[in-house]
Structure 1
Amino acid sequence: MSTPAQPKKPAAKKPATKTPTAKARASKTASAIAPEIRDALDADIASLEMGSKIWSTLTVAQRATVLGHVREAVAKNAAEWARTAAASKGLDEQHPLRGEEWLAGPYATLAGIDALISSLDAIAAGESPLKNVRTSLAPTGQVAVQAYPATKTDALLLNGFTGEVWLKPGVTADQARRRAGLAQLNPTAGGGVGLVLGAGNVTSIPILDVLYELIAFNRVALLKLNPTQDSLLTVFRKALQPLIEPGFVRIVTGAGDVGAYLTAHPGFSHIHITGSAVTFDTIVWGPGAAGQKRKQTGKPQLTTPITGELGGVAPIIVVPGPWTQADLDYQAEHVVTMRLQNSGHICISGQVVIISPDWKQKDDFLAALRRAYAKAPQRPVWYPNSDTKLAIAREAYPDAEQYGPRLLVEIDGTDDAATLETTEFFAPVLGIVEVDGTGQQFVDGAVAYANERLAGTLGANILIDPVTEAELGDGFERAVADLHYGNIAINGWTGFSFVAPTLSWGAFPGHTLEDVGSGIGIVHNALLLDDVERSVLRGPFRPFPRSVGRGRFSILPKPPWFVTSRTSAEVSEGFTRFMIDRNLARLAKTLGAALRS
C-alpha cells in the first residue's frame, strides 16, 4: 500500500531515464518464457481480436442472452466452485467457515450476472437502467442513486440493508439517467482486447472483472489467474464456456514471467488488475531501481491504459453511545468478522478500530472484542507472504496479544501507530487506536484520522446506535460525506457492498499513476452508471428480533457472513441455491437455519 501523500517539494534535477519502447520491452519479456507458452498466449490474443469483432456485431438483447447462458453455466458448476475454492484455502467440507466460498464465489457472481442482464434488458427496450430507480440528494447536494436493494430477492435475503451510489458533484439526475449504460449505449463501438490480472484471494473477483470489461467497455478479455487460484481453472472455464467458445474470453495461468509478457504485449487496449500497489507500480514503471527512477521522472514504461483495485487500511469507527450488553457482544463479533473473513486476506478487511477513551463503555466493548476474537473458528493463514506480514506486525508491536496466529494490537501513548496505519497486513492483524471525545467531536475527529492517517481510500466502516445517530442528525451525515472512501458502510461491513452488484466498487476518485493509493477506476456497478464517486451502505444496528422497534428493522438474525455464525455454511449454500432455482421450500429451510445462527 502507498503511504499518505506528503507535501510536494520542488523537483531536483535528475539524470534522464531512458524508457524502453513498447516493442523492445515486448521482445525482452518474450525471450523470458518458453516458446510454446508464448505461442499459445499469442494464439489466445489473436482469437480474442477476432472475438472482439464478433462481440461488436451483437445487439444488446443478444448480449443479455449470452449472459443468461453464462448464468446457467455458473449455476451448474456452483457446488464444484465452492468446494474447490474452500479446499484451496485449507477448509475441508466440514469446516464451519466454508460458507464464505459460496457467498464470495458463485453467489456474488450470480447476483452480478442477474443485475447486468436487468440493465441490458432495459437498454434493449430503449429505456435507462435507472427507469425504476429512485434518486435523491446526498448532504453535499450530489445525486444519490438508490441502488440497493434492486430486486425482491435482495430485499428478502439481505433484509434491512440499503445502498446508494453517489455521483460526482455537478451531475444531475437527468444526466445520470441518460448516461447510464456506458458502452452499451453504443454497442457497435469495439473496445478491443483487455487484459485482466485476476485477484488471488476472492474467487468471484476475476469473473466479475471480466464481465465488467465486456459490458461496461465492450472489451473482450484475456484473464490471467493469480497462481493461488490455478486449481479453479477448470471450474472457471466451464462457468465461462458460453463466452470462451465464441472467442470473447480466454483464461490462462502462469507465474510472473507470463504476467510480464502479457503486460508488455501490444495486443491489449487496456489492463485491469486487482492486487497490490507494489505490483501495480512494477507494471507501470518497471521493477527495481530503474522503475523507481522512471517514476520519479514521470516516464512510465507502460503505454497501455490501466486501472486497478488495490486495497488499503480500512477503518472501523465505533461511535460512543448507550449500548446494551447484547449490542456490545453483537458489534464485537461484527468487527471480528470484518477482520477475519478469509483469514484477513481481503483488501476490504477492517484493520484499525477507532474508539474513544471517553466512552464509558469502552472497556466493556474491548472485553467483548477480545472474547469474539478468541472464539472465532480457527483456520489456516494461507495467502502467500502472510508470514512476512505477521512478522512485521510482531516486530513493530512486540506486546501485541496473540490468539493462535491472530494478533490484536492496542496502541497506547507510548506506541508508534505508523506501521499499523500504513501497512495493509492482508493477514489476521487487528489494531485499536483512540480518538478523543464523544458525539460530534468524536465523529469529526475519527473521520479526520481515517482520511489523513490511514493508507488508502477503498473502504471505511462506521458503527453507530440509532439513538446517537438521531441525536447527531445532519452533523453525522456531513461527517459521512467528509469521509473520502470509495465504499462506506454504516452499521454494515463494506464486504457486503462487494456482493451487492448494483453498488460500485473501487477507490475514492483522485488517485494517479504516480500515487495510485487504493487504485483507479471502479467495477461491479451493474446499473452501468457514469461519473461515480462512491457507494454508501446502511444496515441494521441490531439483528432480529432485537431490531423490532429499535432502529432500522431487519428480519435477519446474525448474518451468515459473521465468522461466529453457527449455521454460516448451511445458510450461505442455501442462499446460493435459492439464487439458482428460486425454490421457496428450500429457502424456508434455509431461513430456519438462519434463525439458529
Structure 2
Amino acid sequence: MATSTSTTPAPTTPPAPANAAQLNAHLNTLHDNRHTWARLPLSEKIAMARRLLERTVEVAPRQVEAALRAKRIPQNSPLAGEEWLGGPVITARNLRLLIDTLEDIDRHGKPQLKNGALRTRHDGQVIVDVFPLGTLDKLMYQGFTAEVWMQPEVTPSNLASHTASFYDQDLPDGHVALVLGAGNVASIGPLDVVYKLFAEGQVCILKMNPVNDYLGPFIEEAFAEFIERGFLAMAYGGADVGAYLCHHPTVDEIHITGSDLTHDAIVYGTGPEGEKRKANDEPLLNKRITSELGNVSPIIVTPGTWSESELQFQAENVVTQLANNGGFNCNAARVLITQKDWPQREAFLNKLRSVLSDIDKRFAYYPGAEERFDTFINANDQAELFGPREGGVLPWGLIPNVPADDTDNVCFTTESFCGVMCETSLDASSPSEFLKRATDFCNERLWGTLSASILIDPRTQRADAAALEQAISELRYGSVVINHWPAVSYGLGVTPWGAFPGHTYQDIGSGIGVVHNTFLFDKPQKSVIRGPFKAFPKPPWFVTTKNTAKIAERLTRFELNPGLARFAGVLTQALRG
C-alpha cells in the first residue's frame, strides 16, 4: 500500500454494538484455538469435513424450506429447485471434492491430477484440465469440460509448489478470519468459511447478512463440531456489528462478498474523508482483505445460423442467467452483445421476449431492488417490461439497442442486481471480427472482471476456432464459460471462483482472491468451461425446467455418496423435464 503525508483526519474506532461482549468472547475463543486448527492432523480435518458434509445434507430440507418462505416461493413451485441448487447441492459437492483433495495430500503430499491433465498453450501458459474427473462426471454433465488457466509465473515444473502450499508448512501459524456473508445465495457464506478453514488454515467468524440470517441456525447445526471446538463462531446484526468486527484487533483477515461500495467503505471509510483516503491509498485497516464483488456480466452472442430449437434453447439459457434467484446474483446476465447485422438478431430477441413473458415474476426480496430497477429503466426510454409491478413483485426488464458508444450508460457501468438486462450491438463483418470486437468491448467498457459467457454454435465454432480461443485468452474475467451460465463455474467446485487477478484496494473491481477451487491452486488466472450449444436433457438450473426441485433434491443425496444407482435417480427426474 502507498503511503502519504496528507492530512486526512485520523479514523475513529467504530462504536461497540450492543452484543460487543458476546462478540469479544467469540473472538477470544477463536484466537485461543487458531494454532490448534492450523496444526490439527490432516486426518482429523478430513474426518471433520466428512461429518460436515453429512450434516449439510441432513439439514438441507429444513434449510430450503426456510429459504422458500423468506423469498416467498411456493413449496410446490419448480423455482424451489433454485434453493436446493444454490444451497445444499453446491455446498455438498464442494465438500466432497475438497475431501478428495485433502485425502490426496494426506497420502501423496499434493493433490493428484488425472493423467494428461497438465498442458501448456502455445505461449507457455499452464492449463490444467479439472473436469470431468471420472465416468460419473461424464454421465452427469455430458459434453461439459473445465480447465484452469494459471497465472504467467506458473510453469509445469513449479505448479506443485503453487498448489496447496499451506500444507507444505510443518508448523503453520493460525489466524482469525472474518467472513462477511452474502445475503443472496445460501452456499456463499458456508463455502467462504470452508475455503478459509481448509485452504488457508484460518479459524473464522461468519457474520451473517441480515437479508438471509434465517440460514444461521442451519449453518450452526451443520458446523456444530467446528463451533464447539472453537474453530468457527457466528455473528448476527447490522452494519454496526460488521464494522466492529472489521476493526477488531483480534481479526487478522477479512473476506467480503458484496459490492465494491461495501468494500471501499470497509477499507477506506465513507463520505468525503473516505474518498480522500481512497485517493491517497490510506486504508483504515492494515489487514489482508479478499473479496468477491460482483460484475456487469456479459453474454457474447456469436453470429451464426441457428435452428429454431437452438434459438429457443439459448433464449431459455439467457433468461435463466437473468431470472435465477430473481436476478439477485453476482453472475446474472446484464449485457447481451450481438452483431448488429446478424440476420437472426431480432428473432433471438423475440424469443427472449417470449420467455420473459412466460416465466414467473418474483418477489424482490433484496433491499434496494425497486430503486435500482427504476434507475435502469428510467435511464433508458426503450426499456421493455414483462409482467406487472405490484406487492413487491417486479417485472422483468429488457433494454434493447443500447448504443455501444454510450460509455456512461448505467447498464455498462453498474451492476443492477435485480431483474434487468440490456442488449447492445457491434458492427462486424464476420464472426471472427465480432469476437475480437466483443472481447475488446467487454474488457474496456464493462465494469467488473468476474465472469463472462460466449454463445457460439458448433458450426461457427469449427469454422472460427482460432478466433474463439483468442477471445477466451484475451477476456479479462475470472471465469469464461462457453454456451452456458457462468454459475456453472461457481458450482463445479473444481474451478476457482473469483475476479481476474490484478485488482488493488484502490481499483477493486470484482475483487481479490478466489474461493471454491477444490484442487487448491495458489495462482489461478481464470476458469474456462465449455458446454454443448444445445444440451439434453435440459439443464436442471434452467428457469424453464419444471422438475428442478426433485432433480436437485436427488443431486444433494448424490453428492453425499455418488454412485450409479443415485445417478439413475437423478437422470430419471431430469428426463421428465
1:29 paired with 2:11, answer no
- Return 5+ residue gaps in structure 1 as ranges: 1-12, 545-556
Check the 8 A contact 1:123/1:185 in 2, yes or no.
no
1:137 paired with 2:129, answer no
Range with bigger deviation, 294-303 or 97-106? 294-303
| Aligned 1:158-169 pairs, distance under 5 A | 158-169=141-152
Q: Which amino acid aligns with 1:51?
A: N
Check the 8 A contact 1:139/1:478 in 2, yes or no.
no
Q: Which amino acid aligns with 2:423?
A: I
1:9 paired residue number: none
1:408 paired residue number: 398
Range with bigger deviation, 507-516 or 393-402? 393-402
1:262 paired residue number: 245
1:311 and 1:357 map into 2 onto residues whose CA distance is 28
Q: CA RMSD in A?
A: 1.8
1:576 and 1:475 map into 2 onto residues whose CA distance is 38
1:429 paired with 2:420, answer yes
**Displacement of 1:188 after TM fit?**
2.9
2:51 paired residue number: 69
1:245 paired with 2:236, answer no
| Aligned 1:202-241 pairs, distance under 5 A | 202-241=185-224
For 1:17-56, what per-residue CA distance to the aligned partner results, in whole angstroms no more than 9, with x for missing partners? 1333xxx52xx422xx22xx10000000011112212213
**Displacement of 1:123 after TM fit?**
0.9
| Aligned 1:457-472 pairs, distance under 5 A | 457-472=449-464
1:238 and 1:354 map into 2 onto residues whose CA distance is 44
Q: Which amino acid aligns with 1:118?
A: D
Local SS of the residue matching 1:42: helix
Local SS of the residue matching 1:351: strand
1:323 paired residue number: 306
Local SS of the residue matching 2:159: helix
Range with bigger deviation, 155-164 or 443-452? 155-164
Range with bigger deviation, 519-528 or 404-413? 404-413
Check the 8 A contact 2:204/2:231 in 1, yes or no.
yes
How many percent of aligned residue pairs carry the same amino acid? 39
**Displacement of 1:374 after TM fit?**
1.3
1:351 paired with 2:334, answer yes
**Displacement of 1:414 after TM fit?**
10
Q: Aligned in 2, Cα 1:139/1:366: closer, same or farther, shift over 3 Å? A: farther
| Aligned 1:527-542 pairs, distance under 5 A | 527-542=519-534
1:233 and 1:408 map into 2 onto residues whose CA distance is 35
**Displacement of 1:331 after TM fit?**
0.4
Check the 8 A contact 1:184/1:215 in 2, yes or no.
no
| 2:539 aligns with one of 540, 559, 563 | 559
Check the 8 A contact 1:19/1:294 in 2, yes or no.
no
| Aligned 1:17-416 pairs, distance under 5 A | 17-20=8-11, 24-25=12-13, 28-30=14-16, 33-34=17-18, 37-132=19-114, 134-138=117-121, 140-186=123-169, 188-404=171-387, 405-412=395-402, 416=406
Local SS of the residue matching 1:572: helix
Range with bigger deviation, 234-243 or 135-144? 135-144
Q: Which amino acid aligns with 2:411?
A: L
Q: How many residues align?
A: 565
Check the 8 A contact 2:324/2:543 in 1, yes or no.
yes
**Displacement of 1:413 after TM fit?**
5.2
Local SS of the residue matching 2:178: strand
1:578 paired with 2:569, answer no
Local SS of the residue matching 1:530: coil
1:455 paired residue number: 447
Q: Which amino acid aligns with 2:15?
A: T
**Displacement of 1:415 after TM fit?**
9.1
Q: Which amino acid aligns with 1:294?
A: R
1:131 and 1:495 map into 2 onto residues whose CA distance is 24
Check the 8 A contact 1:352/1:420 in 2, yes or no.
yes
For 1:357-379, what per-residue CA distance to the aligned partner results, in whole angstroms no more than 9, with x for missing partners? 22111121111111111112222
Q: Which amino acid aligns with 1:283?
A: I
**Displacement of 1:187 after TM fit?**
5.9
After TM superposition, the score normalised by the length of structure 2 is: 0.95
**Displacement of 1:92 after TM fit?**
2.1
Range with bigger deviation, 527-536 or 121-130? 121-130
Local SS of the residue matching 1:125: helix
Check the 8 A contact 2:114/2:133 in 1, yes or no.
no
Range with bigger deviation, 376-385 or 41-50? 376-385
Q: Which amino acid aligns with 2:53?
A: R
Check the 8 A contact 2:180/2:255 in 1, yes or no.
yes
1:554 paired residue number: none
For 1:577-596, what per-residue CA distance to the aligned partner results, in whole angstroms no more than 9, with x for missing partners? 22234475554343122112
1:490 and 1:484 map into 2 onto residues whose CA distance is 15
Q: Which amino acid aligns with 2:501?
A: P
**Displacement of 1:267 after TM fit?**
0.3
**Displacement of 1:118 after TM fit?**
1.0
1:218 and 1:412 map into 2 onto residues whose CA distance is 47
For 1:76-121, what per-residue CA distance to the aligned partner results, in whole angstroms no more than 9, with x for missing partners? 1111122212222111211221101111101111111111111111
Check the 8 A contact 1:128/1:178 in 2, yes or no.
no
2:333 and 2:135 map into 1 onto residues whose CA distance is 29
- Return 5+ residue gaps in structure 2 as ranges: 388-394
1:367 and 1:152 map into 2 onto residues whose CA distance is 39
Local SS of the residue matching 1:173: coil
1:108 and 1:495 map into 2 onto residues whose CA distance is 11
1:477 and 1:131 map into 2 onto residues whose CA distance is 24
**Displacement of 1:138 after TM fit?**
3.3
Range with bigger deviation, 372-381 or 332-341? 372-381
Q: Aligned in 2, Cα 1:262/1:204: closer, same or farther, shift over 3 Å? A: same
Q: Aligned in 2, Cα 1:537/1:586: closer, same or farther, shift over 3 Å? A: closer
Q: Which amino acid aligns with 2:26?
A: D
1:515 paired residue number: 507
Local SS of the residue matching 1:92: coil
| 2:478 aligns with one of 486, 500, 515 | 486
Range with bigger deviation, 245-254 or 56-65? 56-65
**Displacement of 1:540 after TM fit?**
0.6
Q: Aligned in 2, Cα 1:570/1:187: closer, same or farther, shift over 3 Å? A: farther
Check the 8 A contact 1:56/1:187 in 2, yes or no.
no
Range with bigger deviation, 441-450 or 363-372? 363-372
**Displacement of 1:15 after TM fit?**
5.5
Local SS of the residue matching 2:421: strand
1:122 and 1:582 map into 2 onto residues whose CA distance is 18
Check the 8 A contact 2:38/2:202 in 1, yes or no.
no
**Displacement of 1:185 after TM fit?**
2.1
Q: Which amino acid aligns with 2:508?
A: V
For 1:413-472, what per-residue CA distance to the aligned partner results, in whole angstroms no more than 9, with x for missing partners? 599462110110000001000011231111101111111110000000000011111111
Range with bigger deviation, 413-422 or 71-80? 413-422
Q: Aligned in 2, Cα 1:181/1:338: closer, same or farther, shift over 3 Å? A: same
Q: Which amino acid aligns with 1:562?
A: F
Q: Which amino acid aligns with 1:409?
A: I
Check the 8 A contact 1:139/1:481 in 2, yes or no.
no
